[in-house]
Amino acid sequence: MPDYHLHTWRCGHAAGQMEEYLKTARQKGLTEVGFADHIPMYWLLPEQRDSSLAMREEELALYLAEISRLQAKNPDLTLKVGLEVDYIPGREKELALFLNKYTFDYLIGAVHYLNGWGFDQTTQQAAYANKDPIAVYHRYFSLLKEAALSGLFDIMAHPDLIKKFNYRLVEEPNALYLEAAKAFAQAGVCVEVNTAGLRVPAREIYPCLSFLKICQRCGVPATVGSDAHQPDQVGYGFKEAVQHLKLAGYHEVTLYSRRYRYTHNIVNFKW
């Protein structure tokens, strides 16, 4: 079973050395792990970047080198090189140039900002009170679609992150889920089943079951990740994640190597 979404101390708000993450992976019986630390804040000038939100640009080469060093040292595990990449509309060309300088197994596209508002940051949570929830959801899902269709990413991170602090709409936004799932299918990206949702006020895996079912019906493949920000969170909630996937009709999860995908059967997964 793979875990494709691990952070490390390098992003400034997670704890732990890569080696410690591998130790937990081994203890939990995972065979494959992918690091997906936050991309340097390419859309800001170096002096405006917040080193508590993402790794500094000079760290990226060290991050990549450490993964290959650890792969050589840990032949019993398969290590993958990923990155969690913020989607900032209008900055696609700049991002493509940045990403082309390196080699990755996969790129996880993420919407963390709505017109500069870091809506998933605890320190910016108060801003929900002054906003129209319907407008917020529409803006979020429209950016998510745009991100998928940009062609820059392989996987869409935590696709209903907007529910993180439990600001919910009265009615479940199934039409928004469907539009997003269709865009994922058209773009050939995976939906990420991300268990971090279980650790926040939403108390629910990203995406929720109805969104995941719609993705499955649209033929969108899925990956799985814990979004671990400390070593003991590797594989967090994977029993629930596999249950969630199966309830949505999935029999496999997707793996990547150098941005080509293949599959891993989850039918006989036991935890």
| Span interacting with Zn ion, options 20-28, 82-90, 211-219, 254-262, rule CB under 5 A | 82-90
Q: Evaluate whether 21 touches 33 at the Cβ level (below 8 Å).
A: yes
Decide whether 170 or 253 has the Cβ nearer to Zn ion.
Answer: 253
Q: Evaluate whether 234 touches 226 at the Cβ level (below 8 Å).
A: yes
Contact flag: residue 227 with Zn ion (CB under 5 A): yes
Q: How far is the CB of 106 from Zn ion (least distance, A)?
A: 13
Q: How far apart are CA 237 and CA 58, in angstroms?
A: 33
Q: How far is the CB of 258 from Zn ion (least distance, A)?
A: 21
Residue 63 half-sphere exposure toward CB, CA atoms < 13 A: 28
Contact flag: residue 176 with Zn ion (CB under 5 A): no
Give the pairing type, strands 260-265 and 32-35.
unpaired
Contact flag: residue 110 with Zn ion (CB under 5 A): yes
Contact flag: residue 84 with Zn ion (CB under 5 A): yes
Contact flag: residue 105 with Zn ion (CB under 5 A): no
| Span interacting with Zn ion, options 104-112, 238-246, 248-256, 257-265, rule CB under 5 A | 104-112
| Span interacting with Zn ion, options 27-35, 88-96, 219-227, 235-243, rule CB under 5 A | 219-227
Per-residue mark of binding to Zn ion, 30-69 (x: CB under 5 A): ----------------------------------------
- The residue whose two tokens read 């079951």 is 209
Q: Name which of 227, 222, 2 is nearest 112 in CA terms.
A: 227
Question: How far from each other are the two terminal CA atoms of the chain, in whole angstroms?
Answer: 10
Q: Compute φ and ψ for 3, nearest 5 degrees.
A: -125, 110
- Positions in the binding site for Zn ion (CB under 5 A): 84, 110, 157, 227
